[in-house]
């Protein structure tokens, strides 16, 4: 489903030198997997996530999503791929502050060109499923952090993406809300949703079915999650 082949990414540092964020990373992520990417701060976890999601082009190497090489596509087609095949969940939720919860969830559907009634129906369905339908008319500032992240997850799902990419989705949540988010991810994964989650929390990572540890931009470990190991 996702094939990452020899991906390197270097940045120009403000001091003038180069920083290597990813060093020849190769990974295969199958359909329906729940992969947690762990590592210390600056190990390249988020860079890998945004590279997979078609937001940040690698310096070298390739990323294939389904049958398409993401960075061989022209920018407009890559944007279309992000709308249809990829859903992003962010640590700071990144909800649009002046939109209501419902409008935030509708946003990717409207960007995709779906009609407003269709987008609204899809968004309402997800809000109901995630238990925040009663908060549909509230602005993000009026929601609890847990509700904001649920709205963020609903937004990432509204176009039925092939893969959900979550960047530290529990980083700003209290333990209870964090556990609820991971439960939700497990539930989605059980239904066949492919998930890649970046986290610095090793305990949460163990609830994924597969754990990859990055160190200095390179894959140092690739193993099943603890719950997966117990199950098998």
Partner 1 sequence: MSGARWLAVRELRARPSRAALAAAVVASATALGAGMELLARSREVAAGARVDGMGAAIRIVPPGVGGSALARLDFGDALLPSDAARRVAETLGHDLRALHARRVVMQRLGDRRVPFVGEATVRGGTVELGPALASRLQDAGPLQVGGRVLEVGRTREPAGNAEDAAAHVSLETAQALAGTTGVNELQVFLRAGVRPAEARARLETARLGARVLAANRGEVADEGIQGALARARRLAQGVLAVIVVLGLAVAAHLDAAERRVEAATLVALGAVPGTVLWTLVGRSLAIGAAGGLLGTAAGAALAIGSEPALLQTLRASWPALALAPLVTALLGAAAAGPVAIAMARRDPVAALQE
- Out of 75, 117, 191, 231, which residue is the one contacting partner 1 (CB under 8 A)? 75
Q: Does 14 bind partner 1 (CB under 8 A)?
A: no
Q: How far is the CB of 218 from partner 1 (least distance, A)?
A: 19
Q: Does 189 bind partner 1 (CB under 8 A)?
A: no
Token duo for residue 157: 């799902």
Q: Of the candidates 152, 167, 164, which has an alpha carbon nearest to the alpha carbon of residue 201?
A: 167
Q: How far is the CB of 128 from partner 1 (least distance, A)?
A: 22
* C-beta of residue 64 within 8 angstroms of C-beta of residue 3: yes
Q: Does 71 bind partner 1 (CB under 8 A)?
A: no
- Out of 94, 184, 224, 227, which residue is the one contacting partner 1 (CB under 8 A)? 94
Token duo for residue 4: 């990452």
Please state, in angstroms and rounded to a whole number, the distance separating the CA atoms of residues 84 and 114.
Answer: 12
**Cβ closer to partner 1: 91 or 193?**
91
Binding mask 23-62 for partner 1 (x = CB under 8 A): -----------------------xx--x--x-xx------
DSSP secondary structure string for all residues of 71-86 = GGS-HHHHHHHHHHHE
**Cβ closer to partner 1: 91 or 180?**
91
| Interface with partner 1 in residues 147-176 (CB under 8 A) | 155, 167
Please state, in angstroms and rounded to a whole number, the distance separating the CA atoms of residues 124 and 136.
Answer: 8
Give SS3 for 170: coil
- Provide, for the chain, the percentages of residues in helix, strand and coil under a 3-state DSSP scheme, each rounded to the nearest 5: 40, 25, 35
Q: Does 111 bind partner 1 (CB under 8 A)?
A: yes
**Cβ closer to partner 1: 76 or 232?**
76
- Out of 14, 15, 16, 113, which residue is the one contacting partner 1 (CB under 8 A)? 113
SS in 3 state form for 94-122?
CCCCCCCHHHHHHHHHHHCCCCHHHHHHH
**Cβ closer to partner 1: 138 or 186?**
138
Q: Does 179 bind partner 1 (CB under 8 A)?
A: no
Q: Does 97 bind partner 1 (CB under 8 A)?
A: yes
Q: How far is the CB of 74 from partner 1 (least distance, A)?
A: 11
Please state, in angstroms and rounded to a whole number, the distance separating the CA atoms of residues 81 and 85.
Answer: 5
Q: Residue ranges of the alpha helices (H) in the chain?
A: 45-52, 75-85, 101-111, 116-129, 145-157, 175-190, 202-205, 226-231
Where on the chain is the footprint of partner 1 (CB under 8 A)?
46-47, 50, 53, 55-56, 75-76, 79-84, 86, 88, 90, 92, 94, 96-99, 103, 107-108, 110-113, 116, 139, 155, 167
């Amino acid at each position: 489903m996702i094939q990452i082949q020899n991906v390197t990414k270097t940045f120009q540092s403000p001091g003038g030198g180069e920083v290597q964020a990813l060093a020849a990373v190769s990974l295969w992520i199958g359909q329906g997997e729940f992969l947690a990417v762990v590592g210390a701060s600056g190990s390249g976890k988020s860079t890998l996530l945004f590279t997979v999601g078609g937001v940040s082009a690698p310096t070298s190497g390739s990323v294939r999503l389904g049958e398409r090489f993401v960075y061989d596509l022209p920018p407009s087609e890559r944007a279309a791929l992000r709308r249809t095949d990829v859903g992003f969940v962010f640590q700071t939720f990144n909800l649009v502050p002046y939109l209501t919860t419902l409008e935030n969830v509708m946003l990717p559907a409207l960007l995709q060109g779906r009609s407003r009634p269709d987008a609204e129906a899809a968004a309402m369905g997800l809000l109901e499923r995630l238990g925040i339908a009663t908060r549909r008319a509230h602005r993000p500032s009026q929601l609890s952090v847990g509700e904001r992240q649920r709205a963020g997850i609903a937004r990432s799902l509204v176009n039925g993406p092939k893969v959900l990419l979550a960047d530290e989705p529990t980083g700003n949540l209290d333990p209870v809300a964090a556990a609820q988010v991971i439960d939700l991810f497990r539930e989605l994964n059980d239904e066949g949703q492919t998930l890649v989650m970046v986290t610095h929390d090793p305990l949460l990572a163990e609830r994924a079915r597969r754990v990859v540890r990055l160190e200095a931009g390179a894959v140092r470990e690739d193993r099943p999650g603890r719950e997966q190991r117990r199950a098998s």
